[in-house]
């Protein structure tokens, strides 16, 4: 039992990736740490985001493999899906990881308080609404890591049955037969992909004229083509007007500003996430919350209040990715320890989207590089010619490398690596290093890729950038 007035070197509000990484890293440095968490440590990523979504995507992948097994001479008949089993498996995976994390925190003597944390003046943190409600503790440093929640849309009240966000979707026991997914960003594309692979009729509704607008256009085009081939329908440049539920049972009619309405069993709203800052900071501190509700922090994760840091999705203007939260946590702790620290370079963080085909990238897209006035040299190599991809029977996709033009007109420093295709989320490492090491194409081209491996496509793309590829012109 933690008593009111207890002092810690670091008090963290929020136990998601940003918060628990802060706690583990600070504790590893010998600091005393408390986390205030309203739900379970692990946060959105472990309980309502990355991990559960990838479990379902894996179910979709197994289903696809089983359906395609005849190509390998293995006949199993038409597979059937018991989605509740996948749901239970997901819960078991999440629970194991949760217990592992709780054990790690305990092992490092991190105190976990249950409830909502509010920052008060003087780096005091008050706990409300949980088992530890009423407790007030003090930190020499405080880290705000309260995370984010799904954004919703006016006219589309979330009821958990006909209209859901990722929160509710990831707890479903059975899949609907038809779904309209609103928003074709990372979440929308992952959900559309897995739902379609598992047999649902999917319509992807997007306000902009393209899907995955944060990705390189060539990469997004491959995903778009693949989705279309698999029967996903698109309503791009669409404005959602409202939803009329069926009188009985789930589902209803989704109305758009233009074009025919969409009759659907379920609407999944995936139009971004907003920060969870309601009640996070009391009057009397200098912490600034911007007009969209995000905490304002500098590149060292410092807020405007001395010795108060902020990390993860609660900070505005940075990618809402678990691994970015981890990296920011390390920056904040090093900064509070007075150690030399390199801030996160948001232009070069790795991205991984687990739809089928997978997407992974780091650095600038071709369009971004040009918009910044860089003269670029670009090479693209499709996976079609890769022997491992042929063996896997999964050849859709490409690797694209964007390099700055060198003074001699050839390829210089690599500024962006973009991949779409089989297992690219596990292949990005070399590209990520190339971009972040500011390596030139000639330097990276010297490295050998094992044969036969999917990574040869990256190697070949870089080799071709030097002007002489083995297979690629």
Where in the sequence numbering do the catalytic residues fall? Answer: 451
Could you give the dihedral angle defined by the CA atoms of residues 52, 53, 58 and 61, in that order, rounded to the nearest 10 degrees? 160
Distance CA 383, CA 16 (A): 36
Q: Which residues pair with 236 in a beta bridge?
A: 206
Query: In angstroms, what is the minimal distance from the CB of 74 to ligand NAI?
Result: 31
1 burial level (CB within 10 Å; 0-12, 13-18, 19+): exposed
- Contact predicate 303/310, CB 8 Å: yes
Query: In angstroms, what is the minimal distance from the CB of 57 to ligand NAI?
Result: 10
Which is closer to ligand NAI, CB of 63 or CB of 351?
Answer: 351
Instruction: Please give the residue ranges that form the binding site for ligand NAI (CB under 6 A).
Output: 153, 182-188, 190, 205-208, 213, 240, 270-273, 320-321, 351-354
Distance CA 297, CA 303 (A): 4
Query: In angstroms, what is the minimal distance from the CB of 393 to ligand NAI?
Result: 24
Distance CA 104, CA 99 (A): 9
Which is closer to ligand NAI, CB of 133 or CB of 208?
Answer: 208
Query: In angstroms, what is the minimal distance from the CB of 394 to ligand NAI?
Result: 19
Which is closer to ligand NAI, CB of 189 or CB of 472?
Answer: 189
Query: In angstroms, what is the minimal distance from the CB of 37 to ligand NAI?
Result: 20
Query: In angstroms, what is the minimal distance from the CB of 258 to ligand NAI?
Result: 13
Helical spans, DSSP H, in 306-396: 322-337, 366-371, 387-392
- Rounded to 10 deg, the angle between the 322-337 and 17-28 helix axes is 40
Which is closer to ligand NAI, CB of 199 or CB of 272?
Answer: 272
Q: Which residue's C-beta sits nearest to ligand NAI?
A: 185
Which is closer to ligand NAI, CB of 110 or CB of 238?
Answer: 238
Q: Indicate if the alpha-carbon torsion angle 411, 417, 418, 422 is positive or negative.
A: positive
Query: In angstroms, what is the minimal distance from the CB of 296 to ligand NAI?
Result: 18
Across the chain, how many H-helices and E-strands are there? Answer: 13, 22
Helical spans, DSSP H, in 108-216: 166-169, 186-197
Which is closer to ligand NAI, CB of 193 or CB of 285?
Answer: 193
- Rounded to 10 deg, the angle between the 186-197 and 50-67 helix axes is 30
Across 101-239, the runs of DSSP E, i.e. the strands, are 111-114, 116-120, 124-128, 136-144, 148-150, 163-164, 178-182, 201-206, 233-236
Helical spans, DSSP H, in 71-118: 83-107
Which is closer to ligand NAI, CB of 319 or CB of 469?
Answer: 319
SS3 state of residue 213: coil
């Amino acid at each position: 039992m933690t008593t009111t007035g207890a002092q810690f070197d670091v008090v963290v509000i929020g136990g998601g990736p940003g918060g628990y990484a802060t706690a583990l890293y600070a504790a590893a440095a010998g600091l005393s740490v408390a986390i205030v968490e309203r739900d379970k440590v692990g946060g959105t990523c472990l309980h309502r985001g990355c991990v559960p979504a990838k479990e379902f995507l894996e179910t979709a992948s197994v289903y696809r493999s089983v359906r395609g097994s005849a190509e390998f001479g293995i006949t199993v008949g038409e597979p059937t899906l018991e989605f509740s089993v996948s749901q239970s498996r997901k819960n078991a995976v999440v629970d194991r990881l949760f217990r592992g994390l709780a054990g790690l925190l305990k092992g490092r003597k991190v105190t976990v308080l249950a409830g909502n944390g509010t920052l008060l003046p003087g780096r005091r943190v008050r706990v409300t609404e949980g088992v530890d409600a009423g407790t007030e503790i003090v930190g020499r440093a405080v880290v705000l890591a309260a995370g984010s929640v799904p954004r919703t849309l006016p006219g589309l009240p979330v009821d958990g049955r006909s209209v859901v966000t990722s929160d509710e979707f990831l707890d479903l026991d059975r899949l609907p037969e038809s779904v309209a997914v609103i928003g074709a960003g990372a979440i929308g594309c992952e959900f559309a992909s897995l739902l379609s692979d598992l047999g649902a009729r999917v319509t992807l509704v997007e306000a902009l004229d393209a899907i995955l607008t944060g990705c390189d256009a060539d990469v997004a085009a491959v995903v778009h083509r693949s989705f279309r081939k698999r029967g996903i329908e698109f309503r791009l440049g669409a404005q959602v007007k409202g939803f009329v539920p069926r009188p009985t049972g789930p589902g209803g009619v989704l109305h758009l500003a233009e074009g025919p309405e969409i009759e659907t069993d379920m609407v999944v709203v995936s139009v971004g996430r907003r920060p969870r800052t309601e009640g996070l900071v009391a009057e009397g501190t200098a912490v600034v919350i911007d007009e969209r509700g995000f905490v304002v922090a500098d590149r060292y994760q410092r807020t405007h209040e001395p010795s108060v840091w902020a990390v993860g999705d609660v900070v505005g203007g940075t990618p809402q990715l678990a691994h970015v939260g981890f990296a920011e946590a390390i920056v904040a702790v090093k900064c509070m320890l007075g150690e030399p620290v390199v801030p996160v370079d948001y232009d070069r963080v790795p991205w991984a989207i687990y739809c089928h085909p997978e997407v992974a990238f780091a650095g600038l897209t071709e369009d971004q590089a040009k918009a910044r006035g860089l003269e670029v040299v670009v090479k693209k190599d499709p996976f079609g010619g890769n022997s491992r991809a042929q063996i896997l029977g999964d050849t859709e996709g490409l690797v694209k490398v964007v390099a700055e033009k060198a003074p001699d007109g050839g390829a210089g420093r690599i500024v962006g690596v973009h991949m779409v295709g089989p297992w690219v989320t596990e292949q990005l490492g070399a590209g990520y290093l190339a971009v972040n090491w500011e390596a030139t194409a000639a330097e990276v081209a010297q490295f050998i890729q094992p044969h036969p491996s999917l990574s040869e496509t990256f190697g070949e793309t870089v080799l071709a950038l030097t002007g002489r590829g083995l297979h690629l012109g």
